[in-house]
Chain A
């Protein structure tokens, strides 16, 4: 692996820690976007691609790096939530869990690399770490937006593992997977919008999904 790629892959791991330790949602979305875009670039750098495959990798770069984050940022603007309050697992503990996950991923990555002769142990490790980061965010955070982000990060990890161990999936299938991911995040965005929109104006006492109460209602007016 050339040093620039190693640096990029290491950056992916650092981004995971940023995602685990942050409470403000906009930077987390930016982090996930950067991660997706980097992964697509690493995919281009690590494999020999023909024209159509390169086109798909560029498509992945655009979708993961720009389209999906834009969808989530839009949902976020509509529901007027800025940060994750009262996560189920605190940020410091989350970082520790991340460190443990990285250690386990490194051990597993080495083992997996042994039975796969051709590919990169580092990439496998980081992909496993990214997947566990995504899964952890889904279970340890309350807000729908953060859970959707967790799903996106989980998918990033799968994509990374695909780069590392599985080459030669047909293009149409990869395009289909990308389309499914796009629609999934799109539908999630709509639901996040409904969670806020439909229940804030009907009856404020029956704002029954307490996880999605906007900050101003939760914390009182700070001024």
Chain B
């Protein structure tokens, strides 16, 4: 049962690769999304009792990320069905540079999409640091072909950068594993098993343990998009098809962060969490600064969203670095950022499809041409910049409050960076909906599959901002409790 979230999409991925009919592939895709969500719901209600030294298991932290992955995948899958139907099968003209290109075969796309789900589930269910590593690297390999769906040189370059930078980054995390095993010399039987490592943490070699955490932070931090290791992220997010961008940003980055948190758990158990928090705060604030800086005067609206992801990963890392109540804030922020960013990327896909450009300046009057999309875009912008009543307000507020008691000047810096990002995003994003739309832009009604997933996400975000239901609160508190939260 515990392996079902990994196996179901894996099997369907295999089927999708060899299925020639588009109809049938859509059935596999939606079936996987639905089945995965159902399995995760079952696992959440009736949590399997963890057996000692099992390689797969589900704790609150894993369940939180798994639930995010499952939810976002369901939305992205519905969106993809409509998206793939509208994509031309024959070679078509690139709207930026006018060259001809064709798409990747759809079977490959759907197959890799499902493999991506399977590998991300593996990451969330791993109770073993080695297996976790294998899973994270596998997510890179499964998602690389997705970024190269539109076969033109920009996406090819983005794919290459993604593959190489992330593989090397994750190589550092492998070194982290090596250091972790070295720290446990003499306790061979439990090497790399999370449960066992936490149990014997106080007896581990402290130098190796600290080295391993830093290597994990740099390694998985690369994949998570923490600056200055974020260089792959803007290209990959802006060149991939919108449902893929939504998954990369909303689901994958959280999986990478889970890798860091697992290492943090071991350090925390060894009573060394202070050594981990300093670097987390530093990387967090630096990522926020880099993200905010590149959002200012950004011309490409998908790149803007990508840099916003860098910024928000910084917020999450910073929150954990502050500790205390801020850890709960970080958990809530991970959930709500995923929902908000998935909304925005899917909606950005609608705008891109209608206007045929990613240049924010060329998009004007979206309210006129695609009303629903424009409303969702503005709502998403307000949500992502932490405006009430959306949930990101709540999470950022929690982090700020904890930061003030920790170090007031850190809280001030945090707020300044948030404010810069807010102003910059509004300056780029709002004019896109206003003004006069170019005459040649179609005003036809919008397909349901491209509207309902973002509506579902933003509604959820609104509900979470007003009232967090008890089971979700318990899950968030449980997750925070695992990494030293109150």
> Is chain B a partner of chain A in the same complex?
yes
Q: Which residues of B contact A148 (CB under 8 A)?
A: 164
* Cα separation A172 to B135 with both chains bound (whole Å): 13
B138 at the interface (CB under 8 A from A): yes
Q: Within 8 Å of chain A (Cβ to Cβ): is B430?
A: no
Residue from B133, B145, B163, B179 within 8 A of A188 (CB atoms): B163
**Per a CB cutoff under 8 Å, which of A116, A177, A180, A206 touches B185?**
A116
B192 near A158 (CB under 8 angstroms)?
Answer: no
**B129-157 CB contact bits vs A (8 Å, 1 = yes)?**
01101100110110011001001010011
Give CA–CA (A206, B98) in the complex, Å: 10
Q: A135-B168, A187-B141 are in contact. Are A158 and B156 (CB under 8 A)?
A: no
CB distance from B125 to the nearest CB of A (A): 14
User: Which residues of B are found within 8 Å of A195, using beta-carbon distances?
Assistant: 156, 160
Near A by CB (< 8 A), chain B positions 175-199 give 175, 177-179, 181-182, 185, 188, 191-192
Secondary structure at the A interface, as helix, strand, loop or mixed, is helix
* Cβ distance B145 to chain A, nearest Cβ, rounded Å: 7
The stretch from A46-54, A90-98, A163-171 touching chain B is: A163-171
Report the count of interface residues on A (CB-CB < 8 A): 42
Q: Is the CB of B157 within 8 A of A209?
A: yes
Contacts of A173 in B (CB 8 A): 128, 130-131, 133-134, 192
Which residues in window 123-163 of A have CB below 8 A to B? 135, 138, 144, 147-148, 151, 154-155, 158, 161-162
> Does B298 interact with chain A (Cβ within 8 Å)?
no
**Interface positions of A from 182 to 220, Cβ below 8 Å from B:** 183-184, 187-188, 191, 194-195, 198-199, 202-203, 206, 208-209
User: Does the CB pair A180–B134 fall under 8 Å?
Assistant: yes
Q: Given A161, A183, A202, which contacts B99 in the complex, CB threshold below 8 Å?
A: A202
- A contact residues around B181 at 8 Å (CB): 162, 165-169
Chain B interface size band reads 35 or more
* A 64-80 contacts with B by CB, 8 A: none
Q: Is A176 part of the binding interface, using a Cβ–Cβ cutoff of 8 Å?
A: yes
Contacts of A158 in B (CB 8 A): 171, 174-175, 178
Measured CB to CB, the closest approach of chain B to A36, in angstroms, equals 15
Cα of A147 to Cα of B137 in the assembled complex, Å: 18
Give the nearest-CB partner of B100 in chain A: A202
Q: Chain A residues near B133 (CB, 8 Å)?
A: 173, 177
Measured between beta carbons, the chain A residues less than 8 angstroms from B175 are 158, 161
User: Contact at A203–B182, with CB atoms within 8 Å?
Assistant: no
| B225 smallest CB distance to A (angstroms) | 19
Please tell me if A115 contacts chain B, counting CB pairs below 8 Å.
yes
Contact A184 B137 (CB under 8 A): yes
- List residues of chain A with CB within 8 A of the CB of B208: 115-116
A203 cross-chain contacts in B, Cβ below 8 A: 99-100
Q: Is A184's CB under 8 angstroms from B167's CB? A: yes
A198 — which chain B residues lie within 8 A by C-beta?
101, 151, 153, 156
Smallest beta-carbon distance B80→chain A, Å: 21
Complex interface: chain A residues within 8 A of B46 (CB): none
Determine if A115 and B99 form an interchain contact, defined as CB atoms under 8 angstroms apart: no
Q: In whole angstroms, what is the CA distance A194 to B108 when docked? A: 15
Task: Give Cα A176 to B119, complex, Å.
Answer: 13
Distance, CA A177 to CA B136, complexed state (A): 11
Is A118 close to B, CB under 8 A? Answer: yes
Residues 94-122 of B contacting A (Cβ, < 8 Å): 97, 99-101
CA–CA, A203 and B97, complex, Å: 12
Q: Are B159 and A169 in contact (CB under 8 A)?
A: no
Contact of B205 with A by CB under 8 A: yes
- Asked, given contacts A173-B192, A176-B134, A180-B137, whether A147 binds B171 with beta carbons under 8 Å apart, the answer is no
Determine if A191 and B148 form an interchain contact, defined as CB atoms under 8 angstroms apart. yes
CB of B205 within 8 A of CB of A191, answer no
What would be 7 A-B contacts, judged by CB atoms less than 8 Å apart? A151-B168, A166-B191, A184-B137, A191-B156, A206-B97, A208-B97, A208-B153
- Chain A residues within CB distance 8 Å of chain B: 115-118, 135, 138, 144, 147-148, 151, 154-155, 158, 161-162, 165-170, 172-174, 176-177, 179-180, 183-184, 187-188, 191, 194-195, 198-199, 202-203, 206, 208-209
Would you list the 6 A-B pairs with minimal beta carbon distance, nearest first?
A173-B130, A166-B181, A176-B134, A168-B188, A165-B182, A180-B137
> Which of B's residues lie within 8 Å of A, judged by CB?
97, 99-101, 128, 130-131, 133-134, 137-138, 140-141, 144-145, 148, 151, 153, 156-157, 159-160, 163-164, 167-168, 171, 174-175, 177-179, 181-182, 185, 188, 191-192, 205, 207-208
